Amino acid sequence: MELYLLFETVSGFSLFHAHGITKIGGDVEAVRNSIHDLERFRNVVKMVGFQPFPSAYSALVQCKKMSKGMLTEELKTFLVLNLPRVKEGKKPKFNLGVAEPKIGSQISETTKIPCLSNDLVLELFRGVWLHFNKFIMDLKQGDLERALLGLRLSYGHVNVEFDVNKVENMVIQAISSLDALDEDIAYSSMRVRKWYSCCFPEPVKVVNDNYLNAKVAKFVENKEQLSNDKIPGLADILGDEDKAKEIGEAAKAPIGEDLSPMNLIIVQKFMQRVLDLSGYRKKLYEYLVIKMNSIAPNLASLVGVVVSARLISHVGGLANLAKCRPKQLQILGAEKELSRASKTREKTPKRGLIFHSPFVAQASAQNKDRVACCLACKCSLACRVDCFSETKTNAFGEKLRKQVKQRLDFYEKRLASREINVTMAKEPR
């Protein structure tokens, strides 16, 4: 049976006839050995048809459709005009070799032409690609490579431009960067606290927060220069005048060691780095708020910007989150605990990422699971409204937020009344 090869390039569609395949016995190893010899390869493969693309845009359209496994009308017409005609009701006496099995299945279903994609066909394609510029006289050396590079760039730009999740990708990257910044700021603030306490340990005893301690250390710098004039500025940072005066009194008789000017400069630079990271973190959070209000305003109003962004990032997009059932949404972020519970036959987790919601945090220990279940149902409704509604508004999110708050109050009041009844029953009459 004869074999034809469909070869697609950036320049156009081409059809080759492997007419000399019987001379080498159809052996893959024999074809591989004959590829590098042009004269020998021409005795095996001959071009029978070529249809160039009229423009670069046409090549891009054909490439985009064929990458999805679609048979275009241009390709179908090219095959009908160049392949041997098949009488109606009879099987073709030839096979068509293709590089992509998806295209081959589409051609077989549409034109009833049997297609092949095996090792022999792939070796023949490798030889065609190696000597393709010799088959077309007007094609110069390097033209095909430059056209291929241009098509790759255009194809990449089109895929990025028409990506339906491109805005959500910004949210995913922003929340990932925000979490990384929180870890860096926490670690760096702790390091500043320990480093500066060698010189001036008194603020560490007064201020418990690591970041606030770093701001105090940056403001004080040299403990010997902390005079009464700086007490108001220190009070503005701490928000408490008594603590500022306590630090000022401690600076008059410090117990820490004295730092050399060089060491003090190093510590000050590290403090400034922590403050710069905190400033950038604030700007990144403001950017995330703007993005979430434009993508999922109802979900952001219901559970907050950070939790809603983490839910979208965890599943890879708002559309995927809208497809989740409430029970699935409730345990998002607790997959490891769920897997461990299924192996050890322990209790399955009742909440995941939504555990960080203010509603779950406000609930008592006995009502956290109930509130998480209710919140997961409302989140499922909110993300579906955000995904499929044409106008972006947070009206539904505010309504759902009020409903969850009412349910939380109902659970807490019922629990309080139950505890009162139990207490009254235990009291002696």
**Domain enclosing residue 366, as ranges:** 296-426
pTM above 0.75, yes or no: no
- DSSP-H helix ranges across 35-96: 38-42, 56-67, 73-82
- Residue 235 sits in the same domain as residue 126: no
In a domain, 85, yes or no: yes
CATH number at residue 179: 1.10.287.4070
Reported as a single tens digit per residue, the pLDDT across 368-410 is: 888 999 999 999 999 999 988 888 889 999 999 999 999 989 8
- Residue 142 sits in the same domain as residue 9: yes
pLDDT the model gives residue 138: 66
- Residue 153 sits in the same domain as residue 273: no
Domain count, the chain: 3
- Residue 139 sits in the same domain as residue 30: yes
- DSSP-H helix ranges across 131-208: 132-135, 143-161, 166-197, 202-206
CATH number at residue 40: 3.30.420.220
pLDDT for residue 312 is more than 80: yes
Q: Strand, coil or helix: what is 221?
A: coil
CA distances in angstroms from 212 to 235, 248, 253, listed in the order given? 12, 16, 22
Last residue of a domain, one of 137, 161, 185: 161
pLDDT for residue 132 is more than 80: no
Beta-carbon contacts of 143 under 8 Å, excluding residues fewer than 6 positions away, are: 11, 133
- Residue 67 sits in the same domain as residue 128: yes
Last residue of a domain, one of 161, 177, 192: 161
Reported as a single tens digit per residue, the pLDDT across 244-272 is: 777 777 666 666 666 677 877 888 888 88
- Residue 133 sits in the same domain as residue 180: no
Last residue of a domain, one of 146, 161, 176: 161
In a domain, 291, yes or no: no
- Residue 141 sits in the same domain as residue 13: yes
- Residue 124 sits in the same domain as residue 154: yes
